[in-house]
Amino acid sequence: MIIPYQELSKEALTNLIEQFILREGTDYGETEVGNQTKIEQVLTQLKSGEALIVYSELHEEVNIMSAQQFKQMQAEEGDYQIDRDEF
């Protein structure tokens, strides 16, 4: 199920994004990118629909993933439910 980012409080959304960026451990190249910049980048992706907040009933967890990853997982596994038409 997709959870619209607007439905989360600012604090809950920030905490979710922080947990996501710490888990991902993404390499940003030669220049170190601060956590605040990473948070802003993920928030921009959520606002544009490029990234989604997804709740998996099967795994009982919330995660952030790209819309492309979501579509692929839905096609392959079918363990995520869409509760609205738009991404």
Global model pTM greater than 0.85: no
Q: Please report, in angstroms and rounded to a whole number, the separation of the first and last CA atoms in the chain.
A: 11
Q: Which of 36, 62, 35 is nearest to 51 (CA)?
A: 62
Q: From first to last of its 87 residues, what are the pLDDT tens digits of the chain?
A: 899 999 999 999 999 999 999 887 655 566 677 889 999 999 999 999 999 999 988 889 999 999 999 988 888 765 445 444 444
